[in-house]
Amino acid sequence: MPSLFDPIRIGGFTAANRIFMAPLTRGRATRDHVPMPLMADYYAQRAGAGLIISEATGISREGSGFPCAPGIWTDAQVQGWKPVTAAVHAAGGRIALQLWHMGRLVHPSFTGGARPVSSSATIAPGDAYTDDLGKQPNAQARPMTTDDIRRLLDDYALASRNAIAAGFDGVQIHAANGYLIDQFLRDNCNFRDDAYGGSVPNRIRLLVEITQRVVDTVGAERTGVRLSPNGEVQGVNDSHPEILFPAAAAALDGLDVAYLALREPLRDGTFGKANSPPVHPAIRKVFRGALILNSDYTLSEAQAALDAGQADAIAFGRAFISNPDLPRRFAEHIPLAPGNMATWYSKGAQGYTDYPDAPEERLASPTPAAAAV
């Protein structure tokens, strides 16, 4: 079986290793969602990952509801991303853009007072982030009409086309973690009685239509999808994930997408709880593309997943924040540097680009780093 350090073909390119960087929202763009120059340094520092999946990036004003998260719907945003992708490529890395629509989690302050959109007229639990008002209660969503859905498909096409123009190697459709597509997928949030609600084939319809549109725009070899077949996340859940998510994976397999990334906790984590048996074994049986797992893995757990044939690569998230040279630390068994949660979403270089690589002269420890990542 392959090692984490072996190359892998992902669609139209070869990744140098199977240690991928998971998407990590960091809030370092402008208020207009334009990437800042500092982001080029941040991503280039982490170019040793086999594939970087960018932070979640808004496909439209309607879908963007996190302060200073980047977007990809304007020319200024495209131009802001170009130095980032160029820096990653100059450092020998590969990078894909994660396409994001937050659905009901967008506060009206981001959209000129307009209500957020979702599958149904629901309210997400907890509070929404805003630019100037701090955290505010989530607003009741407006159910998307068929005209809204047609417009949404156009937004995904534009965003994916812009991503390639900005220099990305591909795109990843964010269909996980309780955001818009997940709000259509799961039955505790989708109460529609039209072609997009009710049965599993209907609830996966929006995911399939979006993916088809992206594939038609940039090619299947440049397209990946992220799902989260877990328990409740941001108020979204499903009564039968063991049926829903393999059906979604089978449909995506029919579109020949390059890879499928799964956020499925081994234990209680940032998104979701491990309160049901994992679904990825069933997904593995119906999806022929590369399968990437992301779930607070340790180094030894990650290699064991590859050894067992459960995955083709493993994506690591928080460990990449404080360990820009994570693949090297794994290879040389160098202990991982701790991170500082207080600076995850702060502004500027602190806690962003100021984490150093491990010193070259440091002697390798006799056992692999074991911290969950």
Residue 361 in domain = no
Other beta carbons less than 10 A from residue 349's beta carbon: 13
Residue 372 in domain = no
Residue 266 in domain = yes
Give phi and psi for 270, each to the nearest 5: -60, -45
Q: What's the pLDDT score for residue 242?
A: 96
Residue 366 in domain = no
- Tens digits of residue pLDDT in 165-208: 999 999 999 999 999 999 999 999 999 999 999 999 999 999 99
Q: CA nearest 99: which of 60, 138, 145, 144?
A: 60
Residue 355 in domain = no
Q: What's the pLDDT score for residue 235?
A: 96
Contact 2, 15 (CB under 8 A): no
Q: What's the pLDDT score for residue 265?
A: 76
Domain total in the chain: 1
For 310, counting Cβ atoms within 10 Å of its Cβ (0-12 exposed, 13-18 middle, 19+ buried), the class is: middle
- Tens digits of residue pLDDT in 17-31: 999 999 999 999 999
Find the catalytic residue in 129, 179, 297, 355.
Answer: 179
How much is the CA Rg of the chain, to the nearest whole Å? Answer: 19
Q: What's the pLDDT score for residue 269?
A: 55
Alpha helices by DSSP H, listed for the chain, are 38-45, 75-90, 146-165, 180-185, 200-203, 205-218, 241-254, 280-286, 299-307, 318-322, 326-332
Distances (CA, A) of 292 to 50, 131, 200, 228: 12, 33, 23, 12
For 201, counting Cβ atoms within 10 Å of its Cβ (0-12 exposed, 13-18 middle, 19+ buried), the class is: exposed
d(CA 94, CA 99): 17
Identify the CATH number of the domain in which residue 120 sits.
3.20.20.70
d(CA 174, CA 224): 9
Containing domain of residue 80, as a range? 8-343
Which tokens is 163 given?
């991503």
Residue 2 in domain = no
Annotated catalytic residue 179: yes
Question: Coil, strand, or helix at residue 143?
Answer: strand
| Average pLDDT by stretches of 10, the chain with 373 residues | 96 96 97 98 98 98 98 98 98 98 98 97 97 96 98 98 98 98 98 98 98 98 96 95 98 98 76 71 97 95 97 97 98 95 94 94 47 44
Secondary structure element (H or E) that encloses residue 128, with its range: strand 127-128
Residue 65 in domain = yes
Compute the mean pLDDT over every residue in the chain, rounded to the nearest whole number: 94
Q: Which residues are CB-neighbours of 137 under 8 A, at least 6 positions away?
A: 127, 128
Residue 126 in domain = yes
